[in-house]
Chains A and B, each alone.
Chain A
């Protein structure tokens, strides 16, 4: 599903040394995988996630998404894939504060080509156990509930892949466990999940753990 080879990204700033965010990374993710990418702060894991999620482009190397070379795609084609094939879950939730949970979940549908979208937001909110609170704004929800709304938003277009960047980073352990359980359920229902974290305990829930240090992928660890 995702095939990356010799991928590198360097950030250059004026009057500063270049930062090699990711270097010569090669990895393959198959449909239905639950992969954790683990690394300390500044290791390049977020840069890798942004590239995997088509939010950023590499300087060199090859990235094939569903067999198609990403570097040959237009900006609009990348936006369309983000809309229909990828769901994002961020550490800071990134919910819009002035609108309700349901309206937040509906955001990806605005840009989708689907014709019949009625009831989709309610269904995914029910899936994450928040149907009763769908008319509440994010200020009226707890951190765990906000992250569940964010997961519902990531799921609403029924994407193949869920990309989660430190999804439990801003949550207490109880809420964190709830979120991880949701990811495990989604994985068992066939979703491909890529989880970025610095926490080995969280990563241990994945099938496969990839360690990244100083922008380089160290080894693959298979978790039974």
Chain B
């Protein structure tokens, strides 16, 4: 049976050797703080990415991108230019439950002039349903309609940065923008959207009806991508499979050949994000864990040195009636109380640093409570493991040998 007074004595003795306790705390605290920061930061980063992705990719979206390959790091997509509007229309015809769609052709880096100002903008051709598909918020004027798309109207909806660069503070509605010397009338302004997951500034775009871009700006007959909204998010996977078979048939792709397009579902996006955040969620915590392991080895060593330094004390305690078990408990309590305090300090410092790092990295401040739980459990395990061998050694010492 463990005597409560032995436990109390262990807690007191842990702090009588202040320098040793300080180094033990430092060696564990740093690892725990790193683990808390990294796991929480990983969670915050993932949440930030997910929030961005949700803005551009709702759970009911299926996206088709022209070109083969896979959208993964170091595997560039080859934009093949063979996704035609006919393909998009056929997909809508065959899959009955598509509620809205947008076919998109971006033309990056075009010079736009208005009001005596000129700037480089990205021209993006959209179908009228883009307003719904992308949850666009029209802050002034209106979005273009089906008639304007069909008649190749030279109308433009501008974004906040493009507006500021071309018009400053003056009212842009009904003003003219010249793109490659072709005049477009501004009919609306949309609210800020920030960066997309690829790092494109969505606030420096000029949105133009798709057919107008195809014929008057880019002079091509294909789109880069199409987004489809299905009525139920459970329908995204079957719809994606259907789209694949429709496009393979229309593009005459042999069974042995790879797709010349990609179909991206919310599930696939989640996979891509998981891949991208693996460094944060797996490798960095692993590194912090190694640091923690090194810290625990330091604690074991300090405790073993402590046993060697305190041989006479152990002998004396045994002479005055301590059982071997009492000595073992004392050393276990000493090690674990120091590591528990180290763990708590590490979590505290980790959270404190996290507030600053999250601010600096522009990541939402998120405390991963699973990280806190893991760190607490790890500190207790380290304490017991670090105390076990020294405690066993101390308990096994003969009182008479120790007192000599």
Q: Please report A residues at the B interface, Cβ cutoff 8 Å.
A: 50, 53, 55-56, 75-76, 79-80, 82-84, 88, 90, 94, 96, 98-99, 107-112, 153, 157
Contacts of B126 in A (CB 8 A): none
Contacts of B318 in A (CB 8 A): 55, 79, 82
User: Quick check: is B75 within 8 A (CB to CB) of the other chain?
Assistant: no
Q: A98 to B309: give the CA distance in the assembly, Å.
A: 13
Q: A98 to B6: give the CA distance in the assembly, Å.
A: 18
Q: A186 to B5: give the CA distance in the assembly, Å.
A: 28
Contacts of B315 in A (CB 8 A): 94
B323 touches A90 (CB 8 A): no
A96 touches B9 (CB 8 A): no
If A110-B5, A110-B6 touch, whether A79 touches B322 (CB-CB below 8 Å) is: yes
Contacts of A82 in B (CB 8 A): 318-321
Q: A157 to B321: give the CA distance in the assembly, Å.
A: 10
User: Quick check: is B317 within 8 A (CB to CB) of the other chain?
Assistant: yes
Across the interface, A79 reaches (CB within 8 A) one of B9, B16, B312, B323, namely B323
Q: A80 to B17: give the CA distance in the assembly, Å.
A: 28
Contacts of B326 in A (CB 8 A): 110-111
In this complex, the interface size class of chain B, counting residues with CB under 8 Å from chain A, is: 20 to 34
Contacts of B127 in A (CB 8 A): none
A116: min CB distance to chain B, Å: 12
Q: A75 to B326: give the CA distance in the assembly, Å.
A: 12
Q: A83 to B400: give the CA distance in the assembly, Å.
A: 15
If A79-B318, A110-B5 touch, whether A99 touches B16 (CB-CB below 8 Å) is: yes
A108 touches B403 (CB 8 A): no
Contacts of A80 in B (CB 8 A): 321, 323
Best-buried of B5, B316, B318 by chain A (most CB within 10 Å): B316
| 12 new A-B contacts at CB < 8 Å, known A96-B313, A157-B321 | A55-B319, A75-B324, A90-B403, A94-B312, A94-B316, A98-B17, A107-B316, A107-B317, A110-B3, A110-B9, A110-B322, A153-B320
Q: Please report B residues at the A interface, Cβ cutoff 8 Å.
A: 3, 5-6, 9, 16-17, 312-313, 315-326, 399-400, 403
A96 touches B316 (CB 8 A): yes
Contacts of B312 in A (CB 8 A): 94
Contacts of B319 in A (CB 8 A): 53, 55, 82, 88, 94
Q: A99 to B17: give the CA distance in the assembly, Å.
A: 10
A117: min CB distance to chain B, Å: 8
Contacts of A50 in B (CB 8 A): 400
If A50-B400, A55-B399 touch, whether A111 touches B321 (CB-CB below 8 Å) is: yes
B323 touches A75 (CB 8 A): yes
Q: A111 to B315: give the CA distance in the assembly, Å.
A: 14
B318: min CB distance to chain A, Å: 7
Chain A residue at smallest Cβ distance from B316? A94
If A75-B324, A79-B322 touch, whether A109 touches B399 (CB-CB below 8 Å) is: no
Chain B residue at smallest Cβ distance from A104? B316
20 contacts between A and B (CB under 8 A): A53-B319, A55-B319, A55-B399, A56-B400, A75-B324, A76-B325, A82-B318, A82-B320, A90-B403, A94-B315, A99-B16, A108-B320, A109-B5, A110-B5, A110-B6, A111-B6, A111-B317, A111-B323, A112-B321, A157-B321
Q: A90 to B326: give the CA distance in the assembly, Å.
A: 22
Q: A56 to B321: give the CA distance in the assembly, Å.
A: 14
Q: A124 to B305: give the CA distance in the assembly, Å.
A: 34
